A and B are shown apart, each in its own frame.
Chain A
Amino acid sequence: MTTVAQPLAQPHGEEHEDPREQLMFDPLPRGEMNRLAMESMYATSWKFWLVTGILVIVILYCLVYQWYILIMEGQGMAGVTRPDYWGVFLVNTVFWIGISHAGTFISAILRVMKVESRRPFTRAAELMTTFGLIQAGFSIFMHLGRVWLIYWMMPIPNVRRLWPDFHSPLMWDLLAITTYVLCSTMYLFLPLIPDLAMARDRTEGGWRKIFYRTLALGFRGTEGEWKNLTTAMNIFAFAIIPVMFSVHTIVSWDFAMATRPGWNSTVFGPYFVIGALHSGMAAVAIVLFIIRYTMKHMEYFIRKEHFNTIAMLMWIVSMAWAYFYFNDYLAPWYGGDKWDKLFQEYQEVGPKAYLWYTMLICNIAVPWLTLWNSKWRQTPWLLAIIGILINVGMYLERYIIIPVGVTINRMPFTWRQYEPRIEIPMTISTFALFLLLYMIASRLIPLIPVWEVQEGQENHTLRKVGKAHIPAISELE
């Protein structure tokens, strides 16, 4: 009989990597990091121009030309009909607004919760917000019957003395999305000012010098300027979080306020917000992978621990999404309104049932089966593939809610399936425009907020506790 205590579990692998591999513990002189960021911005290869050229051609044909036809001929060029009055354009709108939430989540929520590993990629995520909202705006304009009159939705005094109708969820949408896009762009610009000042200082002349000097606003870094800037950034960080939640909630109310079966669900508010975070986090993983592997010097700034952070967020959000989806699923399944139940059966065994199964596999099975493994979480290319699959699943989720959802209503005589027509090239063009805007931005502004990285590196020290070097983070704010 032994009295020596046996360990309950065998120690497995080296769980604790050397903290000095992390960005925050691997500082370089600021001038060196500035040089890396600037070179990454300037270094442009022929591959960049090839991709840009292809994207421009795609946008000219699929966006400019097809939209011209759509406006001149009418909404009949799209696949919408009775009862499928809303189609892929609305799906795109919701999808792109969802993608845009990732930026705010990372730069605002992670900043407020003092998650230090967010430091290098807040700007990359915020750019996704601004450019995603541009695509969402285009998509909502695309679906309007008389888009040239959209200014009637704005509360501008006019000779007819008419005002827009604030009973309508679409008006709440207008206010919320306008607020969100303006505030996100301002929030993108604020931490960019010191980096523009750095770019201004490191540029000799030419159009770039004029560009950086103008946009840097004469920022020097005096105590007063830093105090004003950090105060404004803090206000934004705290205030944009409830705006982020409200924006996608209000988008969900476009559907929840309707009397259609399957849409009139009270759980839509939080369900859509979590869905937005789900697709947004996945998109951030894709973007970080692309940045790290196509841009020079990015391996210094974007490391495995950042992918690990994103992957854990993707995992947690996928669990939250499954929770909300189950909530939305259980009530009609249990009984009650026959039309809600009919819609549910249509999703499961109808002609579009393959979409429903794909959605569940991509949104739940894929993250749950892969993101538990810490080694896989830190494999960038794997994370990018998981991100793509999750985004496919989330696109299908909106596709099921909108075009498949409008197929079923309380008048069975009108049921008809929706087939997208001109929406297909126009959807592709929104992705192309998003990529193009991102690529142009990567040439114009430094993608890494170097001053925030340096600030973080100054906060982090390694404390010797016993024989180990333990990370210690000081709060200098």
Chain B
Amino acid sequence: MATETESKLPGFTNQSEEELGGRWGMVIDQDLCTGCQACVAACSMENNVPIVGEDDAGYGRGMHWIRIERLWESMEFPEVKMTDFQPLLCQQCHNAPCEPVCPVFASVHSASEDLNLQVYNRCIGTRYCANNCPYQVRAFNWFDYNDERVYPELTTLHNQMNPDVTVRRRGVMEKCTFCIQRIHKAEDKAKSEGREIEDGEFTTACAQACPATAITFGRLDDPESAVIQIVAANPSRAGHLLEELRTQPRITYLAGGV
């Protein structure tokens, strides 16, 4: 099912064509998003994202894999106009700028799932990938936040950690993986039952937790999937973030207020 978009012949420029192929993607409806941050909490709990403490969070070192961006259009009080809430997570770009700059191949592209993979145990912490991400969605482990010997006051929720997900140490970059542990579990189950994965059989933690069903996760190469249907039903609202950078992200945003 994986579309062969890359040629292995030597070339001068980027070789992947502009197409919406690939497997996993998302659509986020900004009109429905209320900014409640349930997705942030669910993602952190699902993926063992550490709590960094008050000081470091104040300095911007919060490690949330998804964040809700609140922006204002005008600053003249009381004429302050808010924009839509913008849930921002790793866009799983097809032409990810974070991938070619890693010197040790810790950030590579998965051809079969068309996801951007972060290999924790290969990362040596140069942080070039985070610099190069135009969406700034990558988080770095500045300290051993998840180590209860170092930070006992931060690791209060150890017992609820997800055994399917690695606990990262200091010096390693991390980011949203589209809950790849859930993807692999569903793929394994479907394979053992000799069938393809059905749409809606599983979903990511953020999509599962959203009370407004603003986030929909599914397959992009199946025209019957919910993601494709929602985008097709709202053609005027659909768009990608930072489209001009040609990163070809897998997440489509439906603009609100239309």
Q: Do A's and B's CB atoms come within 8 Å in the complex?
A: yes
With both chains docked as a complex, state the minimum distance between the C-beta of B175 and any C-beta of chain A, in angstroms.
11
Assuming the A-B contacts A73-B143, A75-B142, are A257 and B101 also in contact, with contact meaning beta carbons closer than 8 angstroms in the complex?
yes
In the complex, are the beta carbons of B103 and A86 less than 8 A apart? no
DSSP class of A's interface residues: helix, strand, loop or mixed? loop
| A87 and chain B: residue at smallest CB distance | B127
Give the contact stretch, choosing among A1-9, A165-173, A186-194: A165-173
Q: Which residues of B contact A144 (CB under 8 A)?
A: 124-126, 171
- Partner of B104 from the list A153, A169, A413, A416 (CB cut-off 8 Å) is A153
B124 engages A413 (CB within 8 Å): no
- A411 adjacent to chain B (CB < 8 Å): yes
Q: Are A410 and B100 in contact (CB under 8 A)?
A: no
Pick the residue among B56, B105, B144, B171 that contacts A165 (CB under 8 A): B105
Q: Which residues of A contact B139 (CB under 8 A)?
A: 82
Give the Cβ gap from A423 to chain B, nearest Cβ, in Å: 14
Residues of A close to B138: CB separation below 8 A: 82
Across the two chains, which residue of chain B brings its CB closest to A413?
B69
B122 at the interface (CB under 8 A from A): yes
Bound complex: CA A454 to CA B249 (Å): 67
**What's the A-B contact tally at a CB cutoff of 8 Å?**
140
Are A75 and B171 in touch, CB under 8 angstroms? yes
Residues of B75-115 whose CB lies within 8 A of A:
86, 88, 97, 100-105
Inside 8 A of A179's CB, which chain B residues have their CB?
none
CB atoms of B122 and A152 under 8 A apart: yes
Q: Are A413 and B71 in contact (CB under 8 A)?
A: yes
- Does B60 lie within 8 Å of A416, measured CB to CB? yes
Q: Which of B59, B86, B142, B245 contacts A259 (CB 8 A)?
A: B245
Chain B residues closer than 8 Å to A259, beta-carbon distance:
97, 132, 134, 245
- CB 8 Å contact bits of B122-154 with A (1 = contact, 0 = none): 111111101110111011111110000000000
Question: Using an 8 Å CB-CB cutoff, how does the interface string of B192-235 with A read, 1 for contact, 0 for none?
Answer: 00000000000000000000000000000000000000000000
Q: What is the 8 Å Cβ interface bit string for chain A, positions 136-166, against chain B (1 contact, 0 not)? A: 0000000111110110110000000011110
Complexed CA–CA distance, A247 and B222 (Å): 49
| A76: interface (CB < 8 Å) | yes
Write the A427-439 contact mask toward B (1 if CB under 8 angstroms, else 0).
Answer: 0000000000000
Question: Hey, which chain B residues are within 8 Å of A171, CB to CB?
Answer: 103
A152–B140 touching, CB < 8 Å: no
A209-252 CB contacts (< 8 Å) to partner B:
none
**When the two chains form their complex, are residues B127 and A74 in contact, meaning their CB atoms are under 8 A apart?**
no
Are B104 and A165 interface neighbours, CB within 8 A? Answer: yes
Whether A414 contacts B60 by the Cβ 8 Å rule is yes
CB of B100 within 8 A of CB of A76, answer no
A81 at the interface (CB under 8 A from B): yes
Which residues does chain B contribute within 8 Å of A258, judged by CB atoms?
97, 101, 128, 131-132
Of chain B, the residue at the smallest CB distance from A162 is B105
Contacting residue for A145 out of B100, B101, B171, CB 8 A:
B171
- Contact between chains at B125 and A170 (CB < 8 Å): no
A293: CB under 8 A from chain B? no
Which of B88, B103, B127, B130 has the most chain A CB atoms closer than 10 A to its own CB? B103
A409 at the interface (CB under 8 A from B): yes
CB < 8 Å: which of A83, A143, A170, A174 contacts B101? A170
State A304–B84 Cα separation when bound (angstroms).
68
Q: Does B61 contact A (CB under 8 A)?
A: yes
Interface residue from A80, A149, A409 paired with B124 (Cβ < 8 Å): A149
Contact A82 B100, beta carbon cutoff 8 Å: no
Q: Is the CB of B170 closer than 8 A to any CB of chain A?
A: yes
Q: For A84, what are the chain B residues with a Cβ–Cβ distance below 8 Å?
A: 60
Asked if B100 contacts A150 (CB within 8 A), the reply is: no
A406 is an interface residue with CB less than 8 A from chain B:
yes
A412 touches B (CB below 8 Å)? yes
B60 touches A153 (CB 8 A): no
Of chain A, the residue at the smallest CB distance from B99 is: A167
Known: A145-B170, A152-B122, A411-B69. A82 touches B140 (CB 8 A): yes
* Chain A positions 378 through 413: 1 when the CB is less than 8 Å from some CB of chain B, otherwise 0: 000000000000000000000000000010011111
Q: How far is the CA of A164 from the CA of B131 in the complex (A)?
A: 19
Residue A85 lies at the interface, judged by CB distance under 8 Å to chain B: yes
B70 within 8 Å of A by Cβ? yes
B131 touches which one: A145, A146, A147, A260 (CB < 8 A)? A260
- Chain B: minimal CB distance from A401 (Å): 12
Are A146 and B101 CB-contacts (below 8 A) given A81-B59, A82-B130? Answer: no
Q: In the complex, are the beta carbons of B143 and A76 less than 8 A apart?
A: yes
Q: Besides A145-B123, A162-B104, A414-B136, 13 other CB < 8 A contacts? A: A74-B171, A76-B142, A82-B139, A86-B127, A145-B124, A145-B171, A146-B171, A165-B105, A167-B100, A258-B101, A259-B132, A411-B135, A416-B59
11 contacts between A and B (CB under 8 A): A73-B143, A76-B143, A83-B60, A85-B127, A145-B140, A145-B170, A145-B172, A146-B123, A146-B125, A153-B124, A409-B136
Binding site for A on B (CB under 8 A): 56, 59-62, 67, 69-71, 86, 88, 97, 100-105, 122-128, 130-132, 134-136, 138-144, 170-173, 242, 245
Across chains A and B, which 5 residue pairs bring their CB atoms closest together, nearest first?
A145-B125, A145-B171, A76-B142, A74-B170, A146-B171
